[in-house]
Amino acid sequence: MNIIVVGLNHRTADIEMRESLAFPGERLAEGLEGLLSTEEISEGIILSTCNRVEIYSVTSGVSDGGRRIKTFLSAFHGIPLEKLESALYTYEREDAVRHVFRVASSLDSMVLGEPQILGQLKDAYSKALAMKTTGVILNRLVKKAISVAKKVRTETRIAENAVSVSYAAVELAKKIFEDIHTKTAMLLGAGDMAELAARHLLKSGVKAITVTNRTYERAVDLSAEFKGRAVRWEDFLKEMLYTDIVICSTGASGYVFTDEQARRLMKERRNKPIFIIDISVPRNIDPAVNEIDNIYLYDIDDLQGIVDSNVLERKNEAEAAEGIVEKAVETFLVWERSLEAVPTIVEIRNRAEVIRREELEKIINKLNGMSEKEKKMVETLTASIVNKILHPSLAMLKEEIDPENRATYIYLVRRLFGLDSEEDIGEDN
């Protein structure tokens, strides 16, 4: 079995490339199904965010798993592989484990220490669980990654004064408008990014917030949380007449605000300036809108310069975080190696022998007058009982089990015999 990561991120691909490989909500299930139908892929998770698209998989082969996944991406999105090759990276085995832990701990994020990626990883994992595309190895990997990320946040200062793309967007708004206290804002979409933007806007003192979303009830709930006002989706263009700042974060697969709509809007606004940040991937605001006078449109890539200074402040803490990750990688690899039959058999026998000797010593100490011959007979008896109890399980592990099921069998046996604790696994408590 081999853990493989194939993907691209904000460092290896521009926004157009990331958009072309994204798995928006309605296509994620289809993507997981396609991934698991790929030859030799036994487990899979797809992490698709604004800054990265990554596939975490377990393959039964050892030579061309990465190539199979790249071919799957190419076929699924209808893009020639040669156009993707330079943007894609591949990690295997130890490097793959390290990469997943670093991603979860936000050490590979555009904004070092940002908190969103852990939630996005949890969400991707939940969807894979619902689709039953994970197994023993990826379940363990993601749970451990979550545990590592939490440890990084509690034992380092990497998340202090936490920033994110949403925070960077608000900081940019404050630079565009000198007095943000007099400005109104609208969240076009009510996802996690929009919610974070609302928190930052309120902290910055924006005058009022309106929220619009395709699901009106969601807009109502979020606007109430921030003491704002909900607007029905079909009315958001009217609301933009009176809005100074628009932060767009929807899950739409196309443009929700076009060049033509923007021109009509500015005519009705009498060219009053409006600041729009599109943090959706794929982009939901037509880039041509930026050519219109007094519309200031920025997309997620435009925010890179703003967040660079924050990265510098966190590099010292990142060094400590990398140490935590390395220790976790070592722990995970020890567990992974234990999924081979021989180490597990040895551990079970050793555990059973320790218990047998402890219990035997207790009873012999309580029974006075036993001869050495009697003691030896009791010891032989207890050893025979233990061996007969263990034999069926250990014999099964020695047999030629289907490679795709071997890890599951060994995992279950280890849990049944108490060789792996919940703490070792890294449960998301």
Cis-peptide, bond into residue 287, ω within 30° of zero: no
CA dist 422 and 143 (Å) reads 10
Beta strand residue intervals within 76-183, DSSP E: 89-92
| Max Cα–Cα distance, the chain, nearest Å | 106
HSE, CB side, 13 Å, CA atoms: give it for residue 125: 20
Phi, psi at residue 56, to the nearest 5°?
-105, 125
The CA distance from 158 to 303, in Å, is 20
Cβ distance 107 to 318 under 8 Å?
yes
CA 130 to each of CA 28, 45, 347, 428: distance values in angstroms, whole numbers, following the listed order: 12, 11, 33, 17
Cα(364)–Cα(353) distance, rounded to whole angstroms?
16
* Other beta carbons less than 10 A from residue 425's beta carbon: 16
Residue with tokens 């798995």: 23
Residue 352 DSSP SS3: helix
Torsion angle defined by CA atoms of residues 270, 272, 276 and 282, in that order, rounded to the nearest 10 degrees: 10
How many whole angstroms separate alpha carbon 158 and alpha carbon 112? 8
* Catalytic status, residue 248: no
Q: Which of 50, 55, 58, 103 is catalytic?
A: 50
Rg (the chain; Cα; Å): 28
- Cα gap 7→102, rounded to integer Å: 14
CA distance 308 to 111: 8
CB 89, CB 309: distance < 8 Å: no
As a whole number of angstroms, the distance between CA 389 and CA 392 comes to: 7
Q: Which residues are catalytic?
A: 50
